[in-house]
Amino acid sequence: MLSENLPAPTFSLQDKDGNFHFLKTNAKYLVLYFYPKDDTPGCTIEAIEFSKHILDLKKLGAEVIGISGGDNVSKKKFCSKYNLSVTLVSDPDFVVSKLYGVYGEKSFMGKKFYGIKRTTFIISQERIIKIFENVKPQDHVQEIISFLQNLS
């Protein structure tokens, strides 16, 4: 896992429409959230919450990008099904997830497997300024908004 105050690894990943998104942004802050899988209960709650508050986050100077495995078709279906406005990009081979240290062994109901650990990075000027680990999807966006408000 990366640490706060370190440079954020660069990336280039495609969204549902094939557009590329990068670490470099014109926004004051980049909220980079990693989530396990499209259209699963916790990930759906988190994506809906980000979509509901996307304008609040933009007013605070933040751009939001969600990253998970799967392909662009999965992202397109997920966004369409729930009318999501948050940008979701595909990391099909988990290359970026591994760079950020969020891909690894997990367990669910006693079964071990590998996947993305729900984690969010707040990045400013290409440096990690805050890491949120083991987040609760229903409360997480408010937690980010509060953090960004305290920076102002």
Length of the chain: 152
Task: Give the residues across from 105 on adjacent strands.
Answer: 114
Annotated catalytic residues are 43
Handedness of CA 58, 22, 144, 16 (dihedral sign): positive
- State the DSSP code for 7: B
Q: Sort residue 110 into left (φ over 0), alpha (ψ -120 to 50) or beta.
A: left
Q: Residue 119: enclosing H or E segment and its boundaries? A: strand 119-124
